[in-house]
A and B are shown apart, each in its own frame.
Chain A
Amino acid sequence: MSGSAGMPGMYGTDPEGAAFLPAHFSPGDRVRVRAAIPPGHVRTPWYCRGRSGVVERLCGAFANPEELAYGRPGLPAQPLYRVRFQARELWPDYRENAADVVEIEIYQHWLETAPEDRP
């Protein structure tokens, strides 16, 4: 987690008062999954790391499972997106229908603006 806890205006809070991070991306945004290899419990599949896709929807904010796995609260909650990848982006040698897609749930801290869309 970033060490920004306590910065005013940084987090929102849900009706129960739990902190969540604001969503940085909207449906239709092109994003890339960070090509990171952190140790420990990770819920971003290996096969999409470093790959680009399009945000299909924002699912809400959820406690970070990479923190929950170690008995920590996982707050502020991370926005969770469904990202749509072309199968050929994931597998350059994909042999089935070129229009096929894979949708994967990815937490915001794993996403960055796709390189070709950066200002």
Chain B
Amino acid sequence: MSEPHDHRHGRDDEDSVSYYRTMEIAVRSLLIEKGIFSAQDVRRTVEAMDGRNYSRGARVVAHAWQDGAYRARLLANGTAAVEELGMQVGPLKLVVVENTPAVHNVVVCTLCSCYPRMLLGLPPDWYKSREYRSRVVREPRAVLADFGTALPADVTIRVHDSTADMRYMVLPMRPPASAGESAAQLERRISRDALVGTAVIDR
């Protein structure tokens, strides 16, 4: 072999059988051998997790935009209000935080990647990146600018660090142009990033 060289491309992760990957394979194989669940169950669960997206969160927001009493219940107890719509939140508690002309909310998990998966699906790669997690608590406006989101200078930013048992979703401001629209029309205006707080809904 000559001196080490740099290929300038990412390594395939499946080549690295790390400590935790080995442990996951061992535990999964044992549980399947013992008949606790089947490989088919694992496949089905992974498929369901991958298939979930932010449409559930958008449904909650559109409903809150149309019904002021529901909006108040959602802000008071996110878990109970989501269950009212027939969706399950699971063991973690949902906290919904409301954007207003004076306050803009943005969500992060600086310790790992906690995310309201039950409403938004799997977190995007940027949400899990070290850069987003370390910068958004330190210079949120600069981070929002990278997403193309500019806020008026007098708006207060409230960053939510999701470090424990709560999960956070942002209730964005309803765009004025949407007056009189149906729930389905409203849902189409809502973007995933607006529910995390890195974007606003301006059309």
Contact = CB atoms under 8 A, between A and B. Distances in A.
Contacts of B165: 59-60, 62, 80, 105
A80 B158 contact: no
Interface residues of A, number: 26
Contacts of B142: 96
Given A43-B111, A45-B110, A80-B164, A102 B139 contact: no
Nearest to A100: B157
Interface residues of B, number: 24
Interface string A21-46: 00000000000000000000001110
A65 interface: yes
Given A45-B111, A97-B154, A99-B156, A104 B138 contact: no
Given A96-B139, A97-B156, A105 B111 contact: no
Contact of B161 (A100, A103, A107): A103
B111 A100 contact: no
Interface in B153-173: 153-166
B141 interface: yes
Contacts of A94: 138
Contacts of B159: 87, 100-103
B132 to A, nearest CB: 14
Given A59-B165, A80-B165, A95-B139, A100 B110 contact: no
Interface of B: 93, 95, 110-111, 137-142, 153-166
Interface of A: 43-45, 47, 59-60, 62, 65, 80, 82, 87, 90-91, 94-97, 99-107
